[in-house]
Chain A
Amino acid sequence: MIETSHAPRASTPSARDAVPPPNDGVLNRSLPFLFAIALGLALLPVQDTPIDGMRLSIALAMLAAMFAIALVLDRRPGRMPAWFVFVFPYLFLVAIALLRAGTGGTRSGYAALLFLAPFWVALYDRRRWQVVGVTVAMFVAIAFQGLVETDFATPAPLRGALLTTVVIALMSLAVHRKVGQLRSIDARLRASNAALERSNRDLEQFAYVSSHDLQEPLRMIRSFSQLFMQRHGDRLDAEGAELIGFVTSGAERAQRLVTDLLEFSRVGTSSRAFEPVELDTVIARALDVLGASLEDAGARVDHEPGMPTILGDPAQLERLIVNLVSNSIRYRSPDRAPEVTIRGRATGTLWEVTITDNGIGFDDEHSERIFKMFHRLHGRDEYGGTGIGLAICERIVERHGGTIHAHGEPGVGSTFTFTLEAVG
């Protein structure tokens, strides 16, 4: 068990470097209880013995000092000396013995405290023999110091002490085993978390590189085929012009793909903090951005104000609306002017925003697939688009803790519904 609990930490040194050492906090939580019990016992009805003020104060001072030391060390597990955890229970035993001598309180109560020692060592993931060692020491204390009253165990003190010790040993070993497992799980989680963070950073780097280095050659292809057409276009025959046209449109498409991919990856890696955003303002701005293309398409957008303020990233929310509305315009019906309706309504703590159009629609069996990356329902020559726009929408909504759904009817139109959490 010990091997498994230590191996993962040793095998992932890089992950360990990146992550601060775990704060066990075991003592943090258990110590106050332990000391409360000890003090409570000290104040239990004293039998015939008079209180020995000297011993009692030494014992209390010792316990208080140990409490303080343990608390400080527990905050910085890395600096806790290995021997300390091992020695600590013995010091505790001494303090308890003094406490008992000082007050003459009940013996079985002290013995109960004594039983905690092996668990203490077990919680700290020391070697198994150390857990057993402390248990044996406990046995010695119980058996030979007469810490257990005869009526607590069996009439034969030695046998009673042995029985108790075996039970405690088994239990503390079980605890030890469980702690070892939890630690190894913890170490693995930390390692995979560090790996995830690394891959996120790589992705961001990739996004940056594509924004910069991939755009440049594409820009060259596109610009120079345009310049070529401008200078030498009149000397080309129809076929020549068509071939150059393929070059230009191919580069254009590649460029759109790169920008969209970049945007998609940015939604996830953006570290911008959420702020209160008025949805009405976001929608108005998005429609403003779309102004020219709405006009070109002769589209009418009906946005009814009265949307709430939500906590979010204003730029991403604007992108969400732009993508959905431009989607409606792109897939407009050939025989009627596009009409887009934007409505919002409260459903419990959520706000549901619906964008409905009168476009070509789609079959509902595709309603989940259209959010997938690069998934397109139509040939690229029919309707432009890279197949990333709706994937970006889904990612934005999910990042804001909401969901997005689509519903379509071929020839009638599509409806996109997403939920967002309103502030207050």
Chain B
Amino acid sequence: MIAPIATIEILLVEDNPGDVRLTEEGFAHAKLHNRLWLAPDGEAAMQMLRREERHAECPRFDLVLLDLNLPGAGGMEVLREIRADEDLQTMPVVVLSSSDAERDIVLSYQLHANCYVTKPADFHSFVDVVHAIEQFWTTVARLPTRT
């Protein structure tokens, strides 16, 4: 993880340690002012997003990277809950999934994901994609002001 200055707080919801590692590689390459937080399942993600109980130290996140294939409720449920939560509904959510099934893509956008990205099979492409997401959401796009 990178030490924050004007930190962009990113929550990665991902249960596969391999993908966590690959995503970290992508962010390490970028070397921008961002901090990557990890939620291993949907429940933890919602607690961290709402800063509940033992997650009170969590910041207000600027961006959520959401895997769909999670233990328990699954990524779609997390997305649905984020959009139903008045405090969280403006938060940009990037779905980062290994599925390229049409129905996952359609459902994600129906649930108002900000974009859907299929994890590339190739390591270098994966790093490039993470880098592009990071670039776009932290430097190109304007995000709602944190409250």
Contact = CB atoms under 8 A, between A and B. Distances in A.
B89 interface: no
B98 A227 contact: no
Interface in A175-226: 208, 211-213, 215-216, 218-220, 222-224, 226
Nearest to B99: A212
B40 to A, nearest CB: 16
B101 interface: yes
Interface string A227-247: 100100000000000000000
Choose among B97, B104, B121, B124 the residue with the greatest number of A CB atoms under 10 Å from its CB.
Answer: B121
B126 interface: yes
Interface string B109-147: 000000000010111101000000000000000000000
B25 interface: yes
> Could you say which interface size class chain A belongs to?
10 to 19
A255 interface: yes
A262 to B, nearest CB: 8
A223 B121 contact: yes
Nearest to B119: A219
A211 B101 contact: yes
Nearest to A270: B102
A216 B98 contact: yes
B122 A226 contact: yes
A219 B98 contact: yes
> Could you say which interface size class chain B belongs to?
10 to 19
A204 to B, nearest CB: 10
A220 B69 CA distance: 15
B30 interface: no
Interface in B74-119: 97-101, 103-104, 119
Contacts of B121: 215, 218-219, 222-223, 252, 255
Contacts of B58: none
B16 interface: yes
B22 interface: yes
Contacts of A216: 16, 69, 98
Given A216-B16, A216-B69, A223 B99 contact: no
Contacts of B101: 208, 211-212
Contacts of A211: 99-101
A223 B98 contact: no
A223 B126 CA distance: 8
A215 B123 CA distance: 14
A230 B21 CA distance: 15
A223 B69 contact: no
Contacts of A212: 69, 97-99, 101, 104
Choose among A218, A222, A255 the residue with the greatest number of B CB atoms under 10 Å from its CB.
Answer: A222
Nearest to B118: A215
B72 interface: no
Contacts of B22: 223, 227
A226 B104 CA distance: 28
Contacts of A220: 16, 18-19
Contacts of A222: 121-123
A211 B104 CA distance: 11
A216 B19 CA distance: 9
B120 to A, nearest CB: 8
A224 B100 CA distance: 21
B126 to A, nearest CB: 6
Interface string B8-28: 000000001011001001000
A223 B123 CA distance: 4
A227 B103 CA distance: 31
B76 to A, nearest CB: 13
A315 to B, nearest CB: 10
A324 to B, nearest CB: 23
Contacts of B126: 223
Contacts of A213: 69
B127 to A, nearest CB: 9
A223 B121 CA distance: 7
Contact of A227 (B97, B100, B123): B123
A21 B9 CA distance: 59
Contacts of B104: 212
Contacts of B123: 222-224, 226-227, 230
Interface of A: 208, 211-213, 215-216, 218-220, 222-224, 226-227, 230, 252, 255
19 contacts: A208-B99, A208-B101, A208-B103, A211-B99, A212-B69, A212-B97, A212-B104, A216-B16, A216-B98, A219-B121, A220-B16, A220-B18, A220-B19, A222-B123, A223-B126, A224-B123, A226-B123, A227-B22, A255-B121
In the A-B complex, the 9 residue pairs with the closest CB atoms? A226-B123, A223-B123, A212-B99, A220-B18, A216-B98, A219-B121, A211-B101, A215-B98, A227-B123
Given A212-B101, A216-B16, A222-B122, 8 more contacts: A208-B101, A212-B99, A215-B99, A216-B98, A223-B121, A223-B122, A223-B126, A227-B22
